[in-house]
Amino acid sequence: MQRSKTPPTKYSDTRPIPGNIILIGMMGAGKTTVGKLLANLIGKTFIDVDHEIQQRTGVGIPVIFEIEGEAGFRKRESEVLREVIQQQNIVLATGGGAILHPDNRTLLRQHGTVIYLCAPVSELRRRTHQDKNRPLLQTGNVYAKLTELFIQRDPLYRETAHIIMDSGKQSVRALVQKLTQKLRQLNQESTDTEQKNSPPTKHSE
């Protein structure tokens, strides 16, 4: 099972970030790489949905696509997502197409802070064009396919996300540091809003 948990580094901000952190975005956007480092930094457990699917089926994702088609894979993906997202204090890396079903988009927003890692198609191609484990990219023109998928999915990623981060050219460590700051800022804003909207505390003499 693709999980890891280590204590935060001594240089990190020690303010806790509550709840689950959920990463969405195109294949090659860096969800697994960023997720592992983020989980390490803030002391959460990392889970990768694609790895969970592979562990449960005993075969790779290309095999599932070949036997069951994309529809069969999406059904398995939704089932695994509904299960693992019930866990607490996790960083969850989702598959690129997890947001295609409206129920999944609702589920993600209800169970954590959703981060859209957004990278330009040219960068996605550079990272994925030789990867044989991505069935949708086994085509003669990877750039054209990525462009097609990006046009279809980008509005759904933006609809689902609480935070949008550029995961293009900057280093993973710099990205994770910026993301951690944004998460703490979002948590502080949420806390301030809750305190502002809560009724005054009654004090008895």
- CATH topology assigned to domain 17-182: Rossmann fold (3.40.50)
Question: What's residue 99's pLDDT?
Answer: 96
The pLDDT profile of the chain, 205 residues, written as one tens digit per residue, is 456 554 444 444 567 888 999 999 999 999 999 999 999 999 999 999 999 999 999 999 999 999 999 999 999 999 999 999 999 999 999 999 999 999 999 999 999 999 999 999 999 999 887 777 788 787 888 899 999 999 999 999 999 999 999 998 889 999 999 999 999 988 887 776 766 665 554 443 3
118 and 165 Cβ atoms separated by less than 8 Å: yes
Q: Nearest CA to 87 among 30, 163, 176, 22?
A: 22
* Model pLDDT, residue 64: 93
The predicted pLDDT at position 3 comes to 60
The full set of domain ranges for the chain reads 17-182
Pairing state between β 21-24 and 3-4: unpaired
CB neighbours of 180 closer than 8 A, spacing ≥ 6?
Answer: 12, 13, 17, 38, 41, 42
Instruction: Give the per-residue pLDDT at 2.
Output: 56
> What confidence score (pLDDT) does residue 9 get?
46
